[in-house]
Amino acid sequence: MLTNQRVLVTGPTGQVALPVTLALAERNEVFGLARFTDSTARAQLEAAGVTCIETNLAAGDFTKVPSDVDYLLNLAVVKSNRWEIDLAANAEAPGLLMQHCQTAKAMLHCSTTGVYQPAGLHELGEADALGDNHRVMMETYSIAKIAAEAVVRTSARLFDLPTTIARLNVPYGDNGGWPAFHLMMIEAGQPVPVHPDRPNRFNPIHQDDIIRMIPALLGAASVPATIVNWGGVQAVDLEEWCEFLGELVGKDATFVETDGTIGGVTIDTTKMVSLVGPTEVDWRDGLARMVAARN
């Protein structure tokens, strides 16, 4: 982990960012930027020593935010499904924040593999086509995240700020994630929606691996920005992990095919492994820990 650094994290109350922020706060001075509508999460962060700064990213007002930080971690995501808000918060805000903190050593921008054009079981590499992947579930999501990448890439060059854009696949852990929603559906006896183009294959990544890889991802930052997929080296079918979750809780996982959900997004992790090494948490072990933590 980083040690004795000033680290600025956006979206620290989020599913991915909360455990990351708490881990960073053990050895660093950490500032968290959010609206902090979740008072419980704010109290948890403040108890860990995080300086919580109430900020509306969509407004782009960073007057209360320190500019002399060592590292920027943009882990915030706004999914209001309203174009003006989501473009401002997800795309404009990172660029304005990079301008405000342009003397930082490096920036990590968390993007998503939801920026890729759907390609079935093809292992998507960083140079593959981008597309409106998540429109069926969230109209603004993929396009806003693509726009964010463009803004961050431009800002890295404008401000000579070394940057890594990491396209995250399926993050999960004790704090939740997409598999946790599947777990709740299975426990409630509800069928899990799956895309008809089966199997629906992804690269889930546990929060322990996310936390462990952050220093190396910051170390890989460059100008122009480094772009890399960020997911587990084990590709797993959604159907398979749901059946495994069902076994853990003594329930049968059932499925319903629908075009109203996203299809599989399988990624090539070769570049990630070359930069930061492979993931270490086996998906079965990670899901078993998630089930134990949430029950």
Contacts of 122 (CB under 8 A, 6+ apart): 128, 266
pLDDT digits (tens, 9 = 90+) for 127-177: 999 999 999 999 999 999 999 999 999 999 999 999 999 999 999 999 999
Name the residue type at position 125: G
Class of domain 6-172+203-234+266-279: alpha beta
Distance in angstroms (rounded) separating the CA atoms of residues 232 and 209: 8
Q: Return the number of other C-beta atoms located less than 10 Å from residue 286's C-beta.
A: 26
Reported as a single tens digit per residue, the pLDDT across 219-276 is 999 999 999 999 999 999 999 999 999 999 999 999 999 999 999 999 999 999 999 9
How does 71-102 read in b/e, with b if 16+ C-beta sit within 10 Å? bbbbbbbbbeeeeebbbbbbbbbbbbbbebbb
| Distance, CA of 96 to CA of 134 (rounded, Å) | 26
The pLDDT value given to residue 62: 94
Checking if the pLDDT of 295 tops 80, the result is: no
pLDDT at 147: 98
Q: How many residues make up the chain in this entry?
A: 295
> In the numeric block, which tokens belong to residue 203?
């690269």
Domain ranges of the chain: 6-172+203-234+266-279
Mean pLDDT of the chain: 96
* Pairwise CA distance, residues 5 & 37, whole Å: 27
pTM beyond cutoff 0.95:
yes
